[in-house]
Structure 1
Amino acid sequence: MKVLVTGYNGQLGYDVVREGLKHGFNMHGIGRKDLDLTVEEDVKKYIKNIKPDAIIHCAAYTAVDNAEDDKETCRNVNVKATKYIATAAKETKAKFMYISTDYVFDGAGERPFVETDKPSPIGYYGLSKYEGEKVVEQLLENWFIVRISWVFGINGNNFVKTMLRLAESRNELSVVGDQFGSPTYTFDLARLLIDMIQTEKFGTYHATNEGYCSWDEFAKEIFKQANKRITVNSITSEQYPTRAIRPKNSRLSKQKLIDNGFKPLLEWQDALKQYLIELTQEVK
């Protein structure tokens, strides 16, 4: 199987390529230096030349706060580029998987969002990703849309690495405690995506590690597992203002994965444990 993966320089794209290679697939991971996804003719020519059996579109504009002020760039990457890639996928008859986000929801309430809940993004990043979803649905007959949240992986920056870095110089931190979601290890997620792309079980899915927590609970678990003596103070979203409003409820139901025969990912605490081991090996 020949698989094209966009966003190879990011956390998820990197692990998807790694996982595909383990399966013996012909993996083509591309980053910004390889191809400008916002140039339609270049995208069309590149994909037509490679003729992939499947495309996993991980690339995205993910600077949530910057998106509020740089809407044009955000839209070009998350909507227009998605349209160009999906169109090329249709022309080459490649399976198409679009990686979306919990930010398509407004974060209201406490129950986990299901795939059929109507998106209602509260920020421009979430809006652009939702518009990307709609482009995929309109252009293609069969597709995978996979919404993910709170990712951490070996390649790139993330919350875990930030906490560990801050722990080197501080003994006390304030972390938001009223936003809830599921930390998700890209190594685990990549295995699921590679399994999924080999099937015909098309549709919209939610894919995260199992269990829910708040950011401050996540931080406490990181320090606990890393044997760092750090005091974590829980604060509200209002006490930590950001340019873009974050959804307070990012809980996503993964029941559809189970209903379609896909294996649930590890509990997030176990995934964190595996990740910290991987980080240690990387340092060596």
Structure 2
Amino acid sequence: MPGSVLGHPEAERLMRILVTGRDGQVARSLAESDCDHELIFAARPDFDLADAASIESTLERDRPDLVISAAAYTAVDQAEDEPDMAMLVNGEAPGVIGRAAANIGAPVLHLSTDYVFDGSGTEPWRESDPTAPHSVYGKSKLAGEQALAASGATHAILRTAWIYSPFGTNFVKTMLALARDRDTVEVVDDQYGNPTSALDIAHALIRVADRWQSCPSLGANRVYHFAGDTSMSWAEFAQTIFAISKRQGCAHCSVEGIPASQYPAKAPRPANSRLESALFAETFGHPLPDWHASLTETIRRLIAA
């Protein structure tokens, strides 16, 4: 494993961790985390997921000990109009990253999504459940999982869902903004998932990195789910956001639940995005954080900003 410190018998020292992307919610959460390792953020124009040569040259130049594949094409509706671009970035680039990482002996932690499932049923999805994405975005992310698995790189794939944070654009920020101008908001009440803090995802990724530093084979080459520890509908999520905001003396409003059929979107959304995350917690010794505490902290930061 050229240049790698993973599994080094001496006292553990800093790893060089290359993170794809710089401005995404998880990348920004990693940037402010209490990570003890050296983080390198690879982003455009030098690093472009649509350009295989830039991926290969970046990894060869920086020679990280670990790659966190956090960047992706995330415009779910736009992907329906740009299937080739979505597949290039989400479906093919993870394989390029994996092959380039394998060449330098670096494992890969890759983020994926609940959209790889068809959204049927009411039970939380387990890693072993059959995938059957309905959207272009979901199909491209599943292709990326498969490309990474076939790349030869040591890897772990973390599927997550309903990400929010103090950064970027997300449901929590949107709801708080709407509450400043409205008495009532209409929110879908027949789609269910696990709201997940990007800050918690960042901590989980660093936990895997730390564990792999001393035991490189731990839980390797598997798919995991990592999502908030409680599931709810989008409407219930909004109600919780406003309740927390109200307790902090800030904007809040009423929520009117509506069926997804009244909120048309170009790409189909899974009705059931619930994810079972016990396997990750058991494998890496990282219990899921309390979802309410994580949400409260994010809202506090957004209000204070």
**Cα distance in 2 for residues equivalent to 1:258 and 1:15:** 20
Residue identity over aligned pairs, in percent, reads 36
Which residue number in structure 2 is paired with residue 215 of structure 1? 234
Equivalent of 1:2 in 7, 16, 27: 16
Q: What secondary structure, in the 3-state scheme, does the structure 2 residue paired with 1:243 have?
A: coil
**Is 2:25 aligned against 1:11?**
yes
Moved more, 248-257 or 271-280: 271-280
Structure 1 stretches of 4+ with a deviation exceeding 3 A read none
Partners of 2:154 and 2:93 lie apart in 1 by 19
**CA distance in 1: counterparts of 2:66 and 2:153, whole angstroms:** 14
Deviations 1:103-147 (A, max 9, x none): 000010000010011111011100000000000111125210000
Deviations 1:53-98 (A, max 9, x none): 0000011001111111111111111022212111110111101011
Q: Deviations over 1:150-180 (max 9, x none)?
A: 0011221100000111111111111000000
CA distance in 2, matches of 1:35, 1:261: 30
Counting only pairs closer than 5 Å after superposition, residues 127-166 of structure 1 correspond to structure 2 as 127-140=139-152, 142-166=154-178
Structure 2 letter corresponding to 1:187? L
Q: TM-score, normalised by structure 1?
A: 0.95
Give the structure-2-normalised TM-score: 0.89
Looking at structure 1, the residues matched to 152 and 276 of structure 2 have their Cα atoms a distance apart, in angstroms, of 25
Instruction: Tell me the distance in 2 between the aligned counterparts of 1:180 and 1:16.
Output: 27
How do 1:23-172 and structure 2 match up within 5 A? 23-140=35-152, 142-172=154-184
Unaligned runs of 5+ in 2: 1-14, 213-217
By how many angstroms is 1:189 displaced?
A: 1.3
Decide which of 241, 245, 267 is 1:226's aligned counterpart: 245
Contact residue 69 and residue 108 of structure 2 kept, 8 A = yes
Query: How far apart are the structure 1 equivalents of 2:284 and 2:47?
Result: 35
Alpha-carbon distance between aligned partners in 2 of 1:240 and 1:229, rounded to the nearest angstrom: 22
Secondary structure at 2:137 match in 1? helix
Structure 1 unaligned blocks of 5 or more: none
Equivalent of 1:266 in 280, 285, 289:
289
**Secondary structure of 2:77 counterpart:** helix
Provide the C-alpha distance between the structure 1 equivalents of 2:301 and 2:104, rounded to a whole number of angstroms: 37
Secondary structure in 2 aligned to 1:139?
coil
Distance 2:106 2:284 in 1: 23
Count how many residue pairs are aligned between Structure 1 and Structure 2: 280
Q: Does the CA-based 8 Å contact 2:106-2:153 persist in structure 1?
A: no
Aligned alpha-carbon RMSD (Å):
1.3
Question: Residue 5 of structure 1 aligns to a residue in which SS?
Answer: strand
Distance 2:280 2:167 in 1: 26
Partner amino acid, structure 2, of 1:109: G
